[in-house]
């Protein structure tokens, strides 16, 4: 069973980061953070796909963080908080 206390720690970190960017929507915040994490971790979670359109195939990508461990995400959020305080 996963540690329940991680939930409050993660939410508290997200709150600190979001308070520093109050004009950002919640899902925008999460998306921005995921892109930052991916960029700092060799493209973690980036999935390339080809969409079929009438006009032809279009290559695109999206981020999939399903398997990212909470401890890794929490450490990343802590680093963001430290950077913004620093």
Burial 25-64 (b: 16+ CB within 10 A, else e): eeeeeeeebbeebbeeeeebbeeeeeeeeeeeeeeeeeee
Q: Which residues of the chain fall below pLDDT 70?
A: none
Confidence (pLDDT) at 77 = 98
Mind listing the pLDDT tens digit for each residue in 6-28?
999 999 999 999 999 999 999 99
Domain map (residue ranges) of the chain: 5-85
Judge if pTM exceeds 0.75: yes
């Amino acid at each position: 069973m996963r540690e329940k206390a991680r939930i409050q720690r993660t939410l508290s970190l997200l709150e600190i980061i979001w308070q520093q960017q109050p004009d950002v929507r919640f899902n925008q915040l999460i998306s921005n953070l995921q892109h930052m994490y991916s960029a700092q971790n060799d493209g973690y979670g980036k999935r390339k796909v080809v969409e079929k359109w009438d006009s032809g195939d279009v290559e695109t990508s999206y981020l999939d963080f399903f398997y990212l461990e909470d401890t890794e995400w929490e450490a990343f959020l802590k680093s963001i908080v430290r950077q913004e305080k620093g």
